[in-house]
Structure 1
């Protein structure tokens, strides 16, 4: 409930959406306003052109054979490494599970208690080790990708301070 005697504030000169698009930059600004939709690494740090103009359009193989290590390929390959790691962990899980159960069954004929213990231990330990391996794989890949992101953002910051 508003009091009719209270004066309303004046309306702005332009709608908020237009002011946000303009970014409050002066008309003679040389750089466009930051657009989060075009941020390649979702860090919130605007990307700036690198000093090496040829590095912008480089393909995967030219980056792979870059002997100066100015271009990182780790972020591009992180999902591939994770998928290969998951497949390797899955294959290891199946091999150890089958071997443990078969070994436990073969022990049943010699010593029933040892065979049952081996089967139960296999059913408990192998999935637990596989789960911990998946977590460790994810941690390692995330740590490497984070280090690469830090290196890229540090390089961008250094370029902005030189300007």
Structure 2
């Protein structure tokens, strides 16, 4: 057994700080770091800038080589347009269901009440599910484009073997 005891904690109850690594003497040369350079590149060259954000929107839109993607830039627009379409459909189905329910009450009260309740329950639930599906598809496409962009950057930054 050793006779070493841990240093006491300070009065505030904090544990002692870990020991610092030894510092080189002033004027001494430090060896170069081993391993690949910072940034993940295997060569000493700086990584090339990505072309996916360097072009303007119309330059990327008319890029016939498809080296730049516009999907990430348009994802917000697609989502907002999809939400507007879902909201319009929600209002249309809600109004149509309410009109049908009140119209059916003239002939059969029970059928009219069932139509009204069905409309008030199903239309919001189905609209909510439509928003979830819209978000899912847009996120899936954006994630796929992000994978493609990152793969392209990785290929640019690695040298051929």
In structure 2, relative to structure 1, the CA distance for the partners of 1:96 and 1:57 (3 Å cut) is: same
1:49 match: 48
Which of residues 2, 6, 11 in structure 1 aligns to 2:7?
2
- Moved segments of 4+, more than 6 Å: none
Encode CA deviations 1:103-151: one digit per residue, 9 max, x unaligned: 1001100111111000000001000100000000000000000100110
Specify every segment of 5 or more residues in structure 2 that has no aligned partner in the other structure, as ranges: 1-5, 9-17, 25-31, 40-45
Counterpart check, 1:139 vs 2:136? yes
Deviation at 1:156, TM superposition (A): 1.2
Deviation at 1:10, TM superposition (A): 5.2
Encode CA deviations 1:43-99: one digit per residue, 9 max, x unaligned: xxxx942586xx653100111111111100001111111111111101110110011
Which of residues 52, 57, 60 in structure 2 aligns to 1:60?
57
Higher relative contact order (CA 8 A, sep 6+): 2
Secondary structure of the corresponding residue to residue 118 of structure 2: helix
Root-mean-square deviation over aligned CA pairs: 2.7
1:111 match: 108
> Which structure is higher in helix share?
1
2:75 match: 78
TM-score normalized with structure 2 length: 0.70
| Larger Rg computed on CA atoms | 2
Secondary structure of the corresponding residue to residue 106 of structure 2: helix
Contact 2:48 2:156 in 1 (8 A): no
TM-score normalized with structure 1 length: 0.70
